[in-house]
Structure 1
């Protein structure tokens, strides 16, 4: 009888494949602790590992690490830990054949526990900040004028109903009055692939940059209203899996200008207009596999954006824009990390309103060492490189001093670094701005110190040298998402 069974088993394996000695584990269940507000389905949405999965031992750890990073990148938690618990007495796992005909021995059974520490989701604090593009422009170019400040209130709830939805209200006064109202729900429906954002921004400028000269912003001081802008918008997002995002944004822009500014710069809206109205439609795709979006050390990302300004013949702007970017981060070993990124923009037609002609110098589209300049143009290319050393990366437990769980974990990381950036802006009408930096290569090199801490706050102190021979320190601080 045993001989017949052995012959049958050999015949079965000859038809369907041989046995596999690779060790497997069966995930019996996945549990969550510490998510007092966040709903479980929001966390499960980020996980590859599910209850009932049979996974090789070699693959399990890497999958759990990727899941940990994805959960952390929701910006809902301070810390995320995935623990494995081995169940020695489990007898429910049976041997079976895989799709390719391999016989799997009864796998080891485990439970996975996701241990979370939630952030403090409601942020409400007074606003007091500078109205200039960055601290360095205010310090070096605006004479440290304290009248160029903005004050008001900022209220943000990052997890309003436990579904990773955000509600933001920003009411500001002073140099640039502003009202910003925004609500975002990233996942709608049972499949959790579609999301929606609605918002509205209203800005009033009394003093504003009405043109550039020699690649620096020229302001017109005034106590009366120079510009008013209203911008309602709606965005629909589609996230089929984990790392790729698609979005479509429809918005309306209505901006009015004072007679004085229209006279000083007839190209502000072109042809001396005092009003600009248009509809805009944008599509973007972003793929992000960085380990930590706020301050990545490993992984890569890429993205593209296509925008059409002016959907109807009656719109005051008729313009196309396209941008593409790519970045990669990797470890060199011994706490050394290297990164590089590229970004390029093109737009049409060549003759554009001053308000829409944006090259390098705005936001993060910056060659370090040129913080005091804006290089307007229809096209630009930007390359950044950075070599970091991890001097410190620790998480301090402050529970003896601070009882609130959202604040008694204090992460602190310090990264000395060196960098080199390169850029180029193409401007078909550079003479309108008396530009000396457009249509020529730019290069900035330097050394820096980055400090990463609580709630994604990153402070940067850089000392940069540009191709003009200008060398000085630059400082920035902010919360990065």
Structure 2
């Protein structure tokens, strides 16, 4: 009997000593006790649910980054967007912010519909990270059908004429080799003709910091905006000129660009181009200063541009939080006719106000020197995304100008429409709807062409509307705007500006 008790006592002692030894050797006992350490099944771990004592301990090492769902995109391209890499040391509570930033960066590449970054498992002080992505479609061979006018409002003023339509095909191959490169071929005919071929490779070296782009364009226009009268474009059509050639203006040329991206959010670009423009004599009869101050019919212009871009927002196509800033300086032509320096500035600052509210302030400015420029270099308000909401029907020429947009939004709906496809990256279509109100203001300087009564004065607009944000960065904007001239109207846009 005494022998049995002796063995039992010895067994208990061994168990106690072993337990003490295991506990003393355990690197993360709080995780072990919670049952999530060494998760061999790979179930994602919520960092925020881990004990505070663990989050503040010494740094962990990212031992492995596993990626799934990327059938086309290279693993190293995805890892390039992450603010942490394999071998980095990081405190666990910092990973929450790094995961958020990594997801933001990957979404803003516009390569993926969805991104999930999670903590996969612990192995002592080593952690494994899981990145799951759902890729987009990358090949878009689509027919092209678009009015030649600046926007739908100006097309409506001309009676929605089908004679003012360009048609053709656009072939765009995003992520061509899986390195976020893009191949573009556009063949447009109809009212105008255009051929464009370009290729953009952002990752041309092993460090994934340097890239390049090449671009070639040819276009022929049967109708061009040769002057501005009463804040409206005055067009000349080749069909109404019996002695005119096929096109009133032709343009061709190309460019090469070098890109440098040292970090995650800032990019530098240096582009060199050479462009040739030629117009019909009928254009110079109406506006001798259309292409040059000396009335030249044909010009060949070398161009050099340096630009810098910084993007740190939650979602670049429709930012609700963060900063986007762009700046570019261009030298166009090396003589005096034409010869110009051009500075472009553009930025957006968005604030999340909580309770589904957000506010954004947008700014854009442009300066051209010298101020004395041919007509074609005076295009400012009303061209591209440089316009005030409520003045879409007008153009305001100038060689210098600035504008500011203020927008207050509130999300009113956020839902998904399920598709019959049960697997893959397109099993649903997301929709987010925002109600908004806004005010805009702007000013332009024009000392050469005085047919613009809206130039050289402050301009104000305001309105309210509804934005619909959905798949593939599509933003549909329905807006009712008014300006300080007493004009009101409903406006429709198919993209977000800035």
Give the TM-score normalised by the residue count of structure 1. Answer: 0.88
Structure 1 counterpart SS, 2:253? strand
Q: Paired residue for 1:373?
A: 394
1:479 Cα deviation from its structure 2 partner: 8.1
Answer yes or no: is the 8 Å Cα contact 2:479–2:490 preserved in 1. yes
1:316 Cα deviation from its structure 2 partner: 4.4
1:27 lines up with 2:62 in the alignment: yes
1:126 lines up with 2:143 in the alignment: yes
Q: Paired residue for 1:456?
A: 473
1:396 Cα deviation from its structure 2 partner: 4.0
Specify every segment of 5 or more residues in structure 1 that has no aligned partner in the other structure, as ranges: 1-19, 94-108
Distance in 2 of aligned mates of 1:174 and 1:478: 24
**CA 1:28–1:137 in structure 2 vs 1: closer, same or farther (change >3 Å)?**
same
Structure 2 counterpart SS, 1:188? coil
Answer yes or no: is the 8 Å Cα contact 1:207–1:222 preserved in 2. yes
Q: Paired residue for 1:15?
A: none
Q: Paired residue for 2:131?
A: 114
1:51 Cα deviation from its structure 2 partner: 2.0
Structure 2 counterpart SS, 1:292? coil
Q: Paired residue for 1:227?
A: 249
Answer yes or no: is the 8 Å Cα contact 2:313–2:319 preserved in 1. yes
Answer yes or no: is the 8 Å Cα contact 1:446–1:462 preserved in 2. yes
Q: Paired residue for 1:291?
A: 314
Q: Tell which deviates more after alignment, 34-43 or 53-62.
A: 53-62
Match of 1:238 among 251, 260, 269: 260
1:274 lines up with 2:308 in the alignment: no
Q: Paired residue for 2:346?
A: 325
Structure 1 counterpart SS, 2:149? coil
Distance in 2 of aligned mates of 1:397 and 1:25: 40
Match of 1:392 among 398, 402, 413: 413
Answer yes or no: is the 8 Å Cα contact 1:455–1:479 preserved in 2. no
Match of 1:265 among 275, 281, 287: 287
Answer yes or no: is the 8 Å Cα contact 2:55–2:91 preserved in 1. no
1:413 lines up with 2:432 in the alignment: yes
1:225 Cα deviation from its structure 2 partner: 1.2
Answer yes or no: is the 8 Å Cα contact 1:77–1:116 preserved in 2. yes
1:261 Cα deviation from its structure 2 partner: 0.8
Match of 2:484 among 445, 464, 467: 467
Match of 1:71 among 106, 110, 129: 106
1:403 Cα deviation from its structure 2 partner: 5.7
Distance in 2 of aligned mates of 1:174 and 1:85: 55
Structure 2 counterpart SS, 1:187? coil
Distance in 1 of aligned mates of 2:351 and 2:371: 38
1:477 lines up with 2:498 in the alignment: no
Distance in 1 of aligned mates of 2:82 and 2:55: 27
Render the CA deviation track for 1:288-324: whole Å, top value 9, x for unaligned: 111111111100122211000113x4x8421111122
Structure 1 vs Structure 2 CA RMSD: 1.8
Answer yes or no: is the 8 Å Cα contact 2:377–2:399 preserved in 1. no
Answer yes or no: is the 8 Å Cα contact 1:170–1:179 preserved in 2. yes
1:26 Cα deviation from its structure 2 partner: 3.2
1:216 Cα deviation from its structure 2 partner: 0.9
> Greater share of helix residues, 1 or 2?
2
In our comparison, the structure showing a higher alpha carbon Rg is 2
Q: Paired residue for 1:102?
A: none
Q: Aligned pair count?
A: 438
Answer yes or no: is the 8 Å Cα contact 1:359–1:377 preserved in 2. yes
Specify every segment of 5 or more residues in structure 2 that has no aligned partner in the other structure, as ranges: 1-53, 240-245
Q: Tell which deviates more after alignment, 119-128 or 264-273.
A: 264-273
Structure 1 counterpart SS, 2:162? coil
- In the TM superposition, 1:33-432 aligns within 5 A as 33-87=68-122, 90-91=123-124, 93=125, 109-139=126-156, 141-223=157-239, 224-269=246-291, 270-311=293-334, 313=335, 316-398=337-419, 401-402=420-421, 405-431=424-450
- In the TM superposition, 1:7-22 aligns within 5 A as 22=56
Distance in 2 of aligned mates of 1:454 and 1:200: 30
Render the CA deviation track for 1:85-108: whole Å, top value 9, x for unaligned: 233xx34x3xxxxxxxxxxxxxxx
Distance in 1 of aligned mates of 2:179 and 2:56: 39
1:271 Cα deviation from its structure 2 partner: 2.8
Distance in 2 of aligned mates of 1:291 and 1:34: 22
**CA 1:21–1:439 in structure 2 vs 1: closer, same or farther (change >3 Å)?**
closer
Q: Paired residue for 1:96?
A: none
